[in-house]
A and B are shown apart, each in its own frame.
Chain A
Amino acid sequence: MRRACVWALVAFCLVLAQGCGLLAPKPAWEIPAPPASDRPIARDGALTRVELESGLRVLVHEDHRLPRIALSLTVRRGAASEPPEQAGAVSFMAELLERGAGDRDALAYAEAIDALGASFAASADWDAVSVGISGLSRDFDALLGLLADAALRPRFDPREAVRARDALLAALERAKDDPATLAGWRAARAVYAPHRFGLPVSGTAETAARLDAKVARAYHARAFVPNGAILSVSGDVEPEAVIAALRDRFGAWRKGALVDPGAPPPAQAPAQRVVVVVDRPDLGQARIVVGHEGIARTDEDRIAVSLFNLVLGGSGFSSRLMASLRGKEGLTYGVSSGYSLRRAPGPFFVSTFTRVEELRPALDILLAELERARREPPGEDELSWARTLATGSFSMGLETSDAVTDALVDLDVYGLPEDSLDTYRTRVRAITADEIAAVARAHLHPERAAIVLVGPAAAIVPQLEGLGPVEVVKP
């Protein structure tokens, strides 16, 4: 209202000053948002797909704006495929790929990467292992050679394996200094143990201690088969030349059987409320994680769930949780919620932190918002901005050709339709308030959610009355 008065006054002054009927424009937020211009995901003809005789899928994304390229080989099996007692094996195998490959030992391989000013990364997540390298396009042949060595000819040198294992054990120990990591580990365990999802991708001190070169080699032999992989190249390249070079470097790679992707976790996790306090007497701030099972990457409800989560806690400053915990009360610097989408249903977590003495009020507000989200699911108003948020951030997230390529590879890992990116915005706009209400009922369970807290137990435990039995553990 006051805004209108100000602008009326401005308009009046302009009329006085200029003697004409100029109308002052309204501020842009009072005008309905102009329709978004849905650009195509990739430029016409920029994408080339082929499948080699070995079953290796190839995706080339041409973009000549900058003289750079990114190459990546992704295999469609990850940490979810290993049994809990071997937790960390796949991730350990990925770490060893750059510790010596082809004719080069670990240091020579690092020298070769660094000499090109290139970046190399090999990593495992739950459902895939990816080996990527990027650099200048004039170095294409050298970069491809290095990638092929790491992917097909890793040396798994026993001495390097011992180094890598010792470094991993030290990193796992040091990670306990970080409250957020402790909270994440313990929350996964509270929700899923004894399933594999209850342990970190990188394993634990207990399982990591058993890793060696032999284990890594065995996992590599099983997971790295061309018929279970996709190779992507994006940037300043010519597709014909790239495909010829790939046939040359990867043509002899032989087909193999696909590994089982791993057993799914229980449908309800946890079965009932658990409360765990990780005792860190030195902290002034308490970490809070609340969670339970979520949905699979391929779940039919995934778009409705993602819109619902944007309203709940997945949209930074706009979310209900942020408005309650930070905006109204100043109890935290940040809060977020999210469904971790994996081949089998991964967890739903809400995470935040607050000063120790305010822990219970913050936790109560958080739980009350989860209850409210079921009772009063987002209506047309909230859903409307969630839709524009989802479509807008989707377009922005695909600014670079590397980002588009990565998103296409992700679809391949989960066997989702190749045109999923093209249809995404239309599917988002079609979601109704009824669908949102349905997913809120189906996929939110605060009454049996696990509650994990990290901080000084002596100050935290007395605040937890009425939440159920409390277990206090060491980091």
Chain B
Amino acid sequence: MPNARLLVPAVIGLWCAASGARVAALEDPAARAQVTHLDNGLVVVTLEDTATPVVSFQMWVKVGSRDEAGYSGLAHLFEHMMFNGSEHLGPEQHAQLVTARGGMINAYTSNDQTVYFDDVTRESLPLVIDLEYERLAYLDISEESLNRERQVVLEERSLRIEDTPMGRAYEALLALLWQALPYRTPVIGWRSDVEKATVEVCREFFATYYAPNNIVVAIAGDFDTADALARLERTIGRLPAAEVIPRNPTEEPEQRGERRATVHFDLRGPVLAAAWHAPATGHADGEALDVLSQILSDGRSSRLYRSLVHDAEIALSASGGYWEMNDTGAFLAIAGVRPGESIDRVEQLFFAEIERVRREPVHAAELDKAKRQLEVSLVNGLATSHALAARIGGDIATFGRIRPLGERLERIRAVTADDVRRVARTYLVTDQRSVVHVVPPPHEATPREAGDGA
């Protein structure tokens, strides 16, 4: 039998101490979330809110590119296969049934998770639950559907990576930053792996990772919790649990010295991308790194915008930010160089700003501004059912608990200028840096002009 318990204490009136009188007391809606563990290991986190016309159903499967060995891109390929029909429904029929009711259905794959979501109106939640059960229980993994879908994925790969300067930059950068961790492979996979993945490999991957004890279901918005739980129990709740869910054992060895790579691409605006190693999600330095990201990048008064875009006028965009994942993290820097300007000069000014945050403490006003920006974005994140479901589902999948808003705000507010300088000194080290330049090919070596006809 399922056991339900409340995990999160209520946090009320966070902004009551503010100066203005016209301020609604802020209640963390997630404080009302209920977590239920079904017998087969499926975790269900629910948050009812009848003031909204929407209910968001999200299925967080704890598998991403970090779990891939052999064939890269399998987790993402699977995200596609999940729309390709099952025993009782044809290809795309699942999505069509949800869309026909005005629902928004889609999915995405990250390094750590594959997330399926259906945002619908109240009366369609039973449909969504039955459809998710159908594809978990009876997915069609045939040669035919795999072959069609791998073509679609290859088109997506061309679209997002191969034909875009930014896609090329990130792909090269991550493969440079991590030499051992599977985070080094692109989530969408290397082209050759997607071309060669077999039905057997896909079936094994599905059987291994799409078990109920590797899934968190999050539901937020206008629905009835008891009805939804009862329906989940007699559908997904009946699927057998997996005995073992294997995880990749690899750890990243220490980086000893800066790494550099150049990617040639026929473009007008070169791209500078750089990264440093940073801690995994949940680390005590996370908030200081977030504050640092804001100071460097958020808004037109941020340091990088002022220096590179406004004052020097040599970049069209420049930002740096902390990216957290389950097993590690990165601090990324990215700049779009203005056509005709020097990428070396952009790099020099960019890294000068990094040196400055390592050398001098940030100003009190900058610190306050960064904290305020983070607080406002937390409040904005409470506005939709989709965002709420993503928060409670993501927290349960990653941390096994919902981090209360109050806790997150307290940790942001506790960050000092010394903390910001300390994390900059700890992580943004030249020796630990990886740098990629995406630039036009040297004229004489252009392969297309060499007449290979490719």
- Report which A residues bind B (CB closer than 8 A): 2-3, 6, 27-29, 33-37, 39, 64-68, 98, 106-107, 110-111, 113-118, 135-140, 163, 166-167, 170-171, 173-174, 176-179, 236-238, 241, 280-285, 315-318, 322-323, 326-327, 329-333, 353-355, 385, 388-396, 398-400, 402, 456
Contacts and interface: CB of A to CB of B under 8 A. Distances in A.
Interface string B418-438: 000000000000000000000
Given A140-B22, A333-B152, A111 B163 contact: no
Nearest to A171: B316
A176 B131 CA distance: 42
Nearest to A354: B155
Closest 5 A/B residue pairs (Cβ): A392-B102, A174-B269, A330-B151, A138-B20, A117-B376
A28 B133 CA distance: 11
Contacts of B158: 284-285, 353, 355
Given A237-B22, A332-B152, A388-B101, A282 B448 contact: yes
Contact of A389 (B25, B102, B153, B340): B102
A111 B448 CA distance: 47
B368 interface: yes
Interface of B: 15, 18-20, 22-26, 51-54, 83, 87-89, 91-92, 95-97, 99-105, 119-124, 126-127, 129-131, 134, 147-156, 158-159, 162-165, 265-269, 298-302, 306, 309-310, 313, 316, 336, 338-340, 365, 368-369, 372-377, 379-380, 382-385, 448
Given A167-B316, A354-B155, A114 B127 contact: no
Given A115-B372, A138-B18, A281 B266 contact: yes
B242 to A, nearest CB: 23
Contacts of A354: 155
A236 to B, nearest CB: 5
B299 A396 contact: no
Contacts of B147: 330
Contacts of B148: 329-330
Given A136-B18, A173-B339, A330-B149, 6 more contacts: A29-B97, A29-B130, A114-B302, A178-B164, A330-B152, A396-B121
A65 B29 CA distance: 10
Contact of A317 (B95, B120, B372, B380): B95
A113 B299 contact: yes
Contacts of B25: 67
B448 to A, nearest CB: 5
A393 B102 CA distance: 4
A284 B163 CA distance: 7
A117 B24 contact: no
B88 A3 contact: yes
Nearest to B52: A399
12 contacts: A28-B126, A114-B298, A114-B300, A135-B376, A238-B22, A280-B266, A318-B95, A332-B152, A390-B102, A392-B121, A396-B54, A396-B102
B268 A353 contact: no
A137 B95 contact: no
Contacts of B377: 117
A226 to B, nearest CB: 25
B152 A326 contact: yes
B53 A396 contact: yes
A375 B164 CA distance: 39
Contacts of B298: 114
A238 B24 CA distance: 11
B20 A140 contact: yes
A171 B338 CA distance: 8
B123 A33 contact: yes
Contacts of B97: 29
A111 B298 CA distance: 11
A323 B101 contact: no
B96 to A, nearest CB: 5
A174 B268 contact: yes
Given A179-B163, A330-B151, A392-B120, A174 B336 contact: yes
Nearest to A235: B24
B51 A65 contact: yes
Contacts of B373: 114, 117
B165 A177 contact: yes
Contacts of A116: 372
A284 B448 CA distance: 12
B22 A35 contact: no
A99 to B, nearest CB: 9
B268 A177 contact: yes
Contacts of A34: 123
Contacts of B127: 28-29, 33
Contact of A327 (B92, B101, B154): B92
A353 B159 contact: yes
Contacts of A238: 22
A283 B163 contact: yes
Contacts of A392: 101-103, 120-121, 124
B172 to A, nearest CB: 16
B149 to A, nearest CB: 7
A137 B24 contact: yes
A138 B17 CA distance: 11
B5 to A, nearest CB: 26
Contacts of B153: 333
B53 A117 contact: no
B155 A285 contact: yes
B383 A394 contact: no
Given A117-B375, A174-B336, A33 B124 contact: yes
Contacts of A390: 102
A179 B163 CA distance: 8
A322 B91 CA distance: 12
